[in-house]
């Protein structure tokens, strides 16, 4: 009665007892078998295979199952044994599990598999993917924190297992746990300081008249391609500034590729949108099935989206409705909340044609209709996505209009006695991009101001304070 297939409503979606051809051509790539289980629809392994390939694995087989979760292996026992045989036959170095495994499940599967076969669940695969690429100080710290948080419960599990076999190992295990806890605290402190620096820099950038815009969305949605399009063309991919808003000469062009996690850290470019000077931040894509605390560890991304004056939520129009919905929900649950406006964007419009686009809009609206406002407080802002193609430029003017409308704006008209003081105030306002028009009428200068409310208010104060020339 322990056969998985016997349980009601539980059956194999498909399985691959025969090793399939590797996905990747690289003969040196580590061989991996993919395993996936799902409660409802048959598991779709497309995404986990793409992630595995991006992390450098050659997928040589897969085992999938439709079944409720088994506490020991996640898969049912029979299926887990099939996985063991497949991994052995295929000479797999790793089993890549499409989902999050508990520490206990990870160890139980590891015990079942041939010695030396690594058990890599989805969150760990993503951490591996990021590990090679963490470059900036903040990204390093974020990654370290994410890895430590991932490791801690597994270390606790290992210590508990060792201690149950040999109680003498316990003190050493406890001190390893303590060490990881301390490193987590110190990484958190360091990240808090970096976040404080970023918050201070954001305030400075805003005071300098810049609106802050962030691109957000699922991985591979087309964010970087859109960022390239929107960025000021100082060079090929805009004029890069680092996370703190400083010039970042060492940042290359925005990378674009048809694979997950091409962008692995946030980068910011200057972009003129309508008549607004903005700083546009391209972010790391979100991914379904990452535990929340690990996603939150990629703080710079979440933070730039939440604190932006306007966040562009990029949704791939070329995805089928189920994927579109799944990825939208994953993105929203990572973002949780925003301080500024959200402008939804349906990307890759050129790829789907007009019928396909209508279908994508329908699928998108249906997904938004199904949202619980408690889960996405900005649900109303998600209506009416703007279709764009960063490839052929379609929709970019509409997008610019929508962004300009969404940005906080104040206007004011001021007359000041013309002279050195008024010119100094005017030049201050020009530097911050809030001068809409200037008229010289005899001895006075009449200025229309428009732009960021705080900057407009300060420009108004300076012009009003301009004393007449003596
Ligand atoms: N046809 C078409 N393809 C696009 C468009 N925009 C992006 N793509 C393609 O989609 C793939 C992903 O694009 P990216 O810009 O790298 O996507 P991303 O969201 O930055 O991805 P990550 O950085 O991996 O999260 C690339 O192959 C792009 O060429 C578009 O407007 N039309
Ligand atoms: Mg990108």
Do residues 162 and 310 share a domain? no
Nearest-CA residue for ligand 1 atom 27 is 258
Say how far apart CA 265 and CA 219 lie, in whole Å.
Answer: 12
Task: Give residue 405's pLDDT.
Answer: 92
Does 223 show up as a binding residue in the annotation? yes
Task: Give residue 340's pLDDT.
Answer: 92
Per-residue buried b or exposed e for 17-44, using 16+ beta carbons within 10 Å of the residue's own CB:
eebeebbbeeeebbbbbbbbbbeeeebb
* 109 CA to centre of ligand 1 in angstroms: 36
Q: Specify the pTM.
A: 0.85
Share above pLDDT 70 across residues of the chain, in percent, rounded to a whole number: 86
Q: How confident is the model at residue 239 (pLDDT cuts 50, 70, 90)?
A: low
Share above pLDDT 90 across residues of the chain, in percent, rounded to a whole number: 60
Say how far apart CA 411 and CA 460 lie, in whole Å.
Answer: 10
Do residues 391 and 438 share a domain? no
* 257 CA to centre of ligand 1 in angstroms: 6
Give 248 or 70, the one with higher predicted confidence: 70
Residue 456 pLDDT greater than 90, yes or no: yes
Do residues 222 and 358 share a domain? yes
Q: How confident is the model at residue 138 (pLDDT cuts 50, 70, 90)?
A: low
Interface predicted TM-score of the whole assembly (ipTM), two decimals: 0.99
Does 265 show up as a binding residue in the annotation? yes
User: 160, 194, 228 — which closes off a domain?
Assistant: 194
Ligand 1 atom nearest to CA at 221: 19
The residue to mutate among 256, 301, 318, 360, having the most atoms of ligand 1 within 8 angstroms of its beta carbon, is 256
Residue 238 pLDDT greater than 80, yes or no: no
Nearest-CA residue for ligand 1 atom 8 is 222
Is the distance from the beta carbon of residue 256 to the nearest atom of ligand 1 less than 6 Å? yes
Residue 401, Cβ neighbours under 10 Å: how many? Answer: 13
Task: Give residue 17's pLDDT.
Answer: 39
Is the distance from the beta carbon of residue 452 to the nearest atom of ligand 1 less than 6 Å? no
Task: Give residue 39's pLDDT.
Answer: 92
Does 244 show up as a binding residue in the annotation? no
Instruction: State in Å, rounded, how far the first CA of the chain is from the last one.
Output: 100
Do residues 414 and 308 share a domain? no
Element (H, E) at 85: helix 77-90
Mean pLDDT score, 283-301: 77
Q: How confident is the model at residue 252 (pLDDT cuts 50, 70, 90)?
A: low
Residue 244 pLDDT greater than 60, yes or no: no
Residue 470: inside a domain: no
User: 406, 421, 445 — which closes off a domain?
Assistant: 406
User: 81, 98, 130 — which closes off a domain?
Assistant: 130
Element (H, E) at 120: strand 118-121
Do residues 107 and 15 share a domain? yes
Residue 166: inside a domain: yes
Task: Give residue 407's pLDDT.
Answer: 95
Mean pLDDT score, 140-160: 87
Mean pLDDT score, 366-393: 88
Q: How confident is the model at residue 242 (pLDDT cuts 50, 70, 90)?
A: low
Residue 272 pLDDT greater than 80, yes or no: yes
Mean pLDDT score, 225-230: 94
Does 262 show up as a binding residue in the annotation? yes
Is the distance from the beta carbon of residue 223 to the nearest atom of ligand 1 less than 6 Å? yes
Mean pLDDT score, 456-470: 88
The residue to mutate among 53, 222, 238, having the most atoms of ligand 1 within 8 angstroms of its beta carbon, is 222
Residue 291 pLDDT greater than 90, yes or no: no
Do residues 145 and 242 share a domain? no
* 449 CA to centre of ligand 2 in angstroms: 36
Do residues 100 and 173 share a domain? no
Torsion of CA 296, 301, 303, 306, to 10 degrees: -100
Average predicted confidence (pLDDT) for the chain:
86
Do residues 33 and 99 share a domain? yes
* 226 CA to centre of ligand 1 in angstroms: 8
Task: Give residue 127's pLDDT.
Answer: 86
Does 444 show up as a binding residue in the annotation? no
Q: How confident is the model at residue 247 (pLDDT cuts 50, 70, 90)?
A: low
Task: Give residue 296's pLDDT.
Answer: 61
Q: How confident is the model at residue 146 (pLDDT cuts 50, 70, 90)?
A: confident
Residue 202: inside a domain: no
Residues in Cβ contact with 262 at an 8 Å cutoff, skipping those fewer than 6 apart: 219, 220, 224, 255, 256
Do residues 331 and 377 share a domain? yes
Residue 91: inside a domain: yes
Residue 199: inside a domain: no
Q: Which residue, chain included where needed, has tokens 């379904």? A: 288
Do residues 29 and 96 share a domain? yes
Lowest model confidence (mean pLDDT) among 59-68, 102-111, 241-250: 241-250
Task: Give residue 131's pLDDT.
Answer: 77
Domain residues for the domain of 177 are: 133-194
List pLDDT tens digits, range 177-211: 999 999 999 988 988 888 898 899 899 999 888 99
Residue 103: inside a domain: yes
Is the distance from the beta carbon of residue 120 to the nearest atom of ligand 1 less than 6 Å? no
* 224 CA to centre of ligand 2 in angstroms: 4
Number of structural domains in the chain: 4
93 near 117, Cβ under 8 Å?
yes
Is the distance from the beta carbon of residue 263 to the nearest atom of ligand 1 less than 6 Å? yes
Give 216 or 20, the one with higher predicted confidence: 216
List pLDDT tens digits, range 390-415: 999 999 999 999 999 999 999 999 99
Do residues 425 and 372 share a domain? no
Ligand 1 atom nearest to CA at 391: 31
Is the distance from the beta carbon of residue 389 to the nearest atom of ligand 1 less than 6 Å? yes
Residue 10 pLDDT greater than 60, yes or no: no
Residue 439: inside a domain: yes
Mean pLDDT score, 416-426: 94
* 227 CA to centre of ligand 2 in angstroms: 9
Is the distance from the beta carbon of residue 351 to the nearest atom of ligand 1 less than 6 Å? yes
Do residues 289 and 432 share a domain? no
Task: Give residue 310's pLDDT.
Answer: 96
Say how far apart CA 315 and CA 216 lie, in whole Å.
Answer: 9
Give 11 or 278, the one with higher predicted confidence: 278
Ligand 1 atom nearest to CA at 259: 24
Residue 433: inside a domain: yes
List pLDDT tens digits, range 47-59: 999 999 989 999 9
Residue 5 pLDDT greater than 50, yes or no: no
Give 163 or 332, the one with higher predicted confidence: 332
Q: 176 by DSSP, 3-state: which?
A: helix
Nearest-CA residue for ligand 1 atom 13 is 222
The residue to mutate among 55, 225, 327, having the most atoms of ligand 1 within 8 angstroms of its beta carbon, is 225
Is the distance from the beta carbon of residue 262 to the nearest atom of ligand 1 less than 6 Å? yes
Lowest model confidence (mean pLDDT) among 8-12, 26-30, 276-280, 286-290: 8-12
Is the distance from the beta carbon of residue 260 to the nearest atom of ligand 1 less than 6 Å? yes
Task: Give residue 104's pLDDT.
Answer: 94
CA-wise closest residue to 141 among 82, 105, 192, 197: 192
* CATH number of the domain within which 431 lies: 3.30.1370
* CATH number of the domain within which 297 lies: 3.40.50.300
Nearest-CA residue for ligand 1 atom 11 is 258
* CATH number of the domain within which 65 lies: 3.40.50.11060
């Amino acid at each position: 009665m322990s056969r998985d297939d016997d349980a009601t409503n539980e059956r194999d979606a498909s399985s691959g007892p025969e090793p399939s051809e590797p996905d990747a051509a690289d003969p040196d790539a580590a061989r991996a078998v993919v395993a996936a289980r799902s409660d409802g629809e048959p598991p779709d392994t497309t995404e986990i295979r793409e992630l595995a390939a991006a992390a450098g694995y050659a997928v040589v087989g897969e085992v999938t199952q439709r079944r409720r979760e088994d506490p020991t292996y996640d898969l049912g026992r029979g299926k887990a044994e099939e996985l063991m045989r497949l991994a052995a036959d295929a000479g797999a170095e790793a089993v890549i599990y499409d989902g999050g495994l508990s520490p206990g499940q990870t160890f139980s599967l590891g015990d079942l598999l041939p010695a030396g076969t690594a058990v890599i669940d989805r969150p760990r695969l993503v951490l591996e993917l990021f590990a090679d690429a963490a470059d900036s100080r903040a990204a390093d710290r974020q990654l370290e924190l994410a890895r430590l948080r991932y490791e801690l419960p597994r270390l606790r599990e290992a210590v508990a297992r060792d201690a149950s076999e040999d109680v003498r190992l316990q003190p050493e295990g406890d001190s390893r746990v303590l060490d990881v806890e301390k490193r987590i605290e110190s990484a958190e402190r360091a990240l808090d300081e970096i976040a404080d620096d970023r918050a201070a820099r954001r305030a400075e950038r805003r005071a300098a008249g810049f609106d802050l815009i962030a691109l957000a969305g699922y991985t591979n949605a087309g964010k970087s391609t859109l960022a390239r399009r929107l960025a000021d063309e100082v060079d090929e991919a805009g004029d890069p500034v680092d996370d703190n808003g400083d010039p970042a000469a060492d940042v290359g062009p925005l990378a674009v590729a048809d694979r997950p996690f091409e962008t692995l850290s946030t980068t910011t470019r200057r972009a003129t949108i309508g008549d607004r000077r903005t700083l546009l931040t391209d972010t790391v894509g979100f991914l379904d099935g990452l535990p929340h605390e690990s996603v939150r560890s990629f703080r710079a991304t979440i933070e730039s989206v939440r604190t932006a004056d306007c966040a562009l939520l990029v949704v791939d129009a070329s995805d089928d409705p189920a994927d579109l919905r799944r990825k939208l929900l994953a993105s929203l649950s990572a973002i949780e909340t925003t301080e500024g406006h959200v402008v939804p964007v349906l990307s890759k419009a050129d790829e789907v044609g007009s019928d396909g686009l209508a279908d994508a809009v329908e699928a998108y609206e249906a997904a938004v209709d199904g949202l619980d406002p408690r889960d996405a407080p900005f649900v109303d802002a998600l209506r009416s996505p703007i279709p764009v193609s960063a490839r052929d430029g379609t929709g970019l003017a509409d997008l610019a209009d929508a962004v300009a409308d969404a940005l906080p704006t104040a206007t004011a008209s001021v007359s000041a006695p013309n002279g050195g003081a008024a010119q100094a105030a005017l030049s201050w306002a020009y530097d911050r991009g809030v001068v809409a028009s200037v008229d010289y009428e005899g001895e006075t200068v009449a200025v229309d101001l428009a732009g960021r409310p705080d900057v407009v208010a300060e420009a108004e104060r300076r012009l009003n304070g301009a004393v007449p020339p003596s």
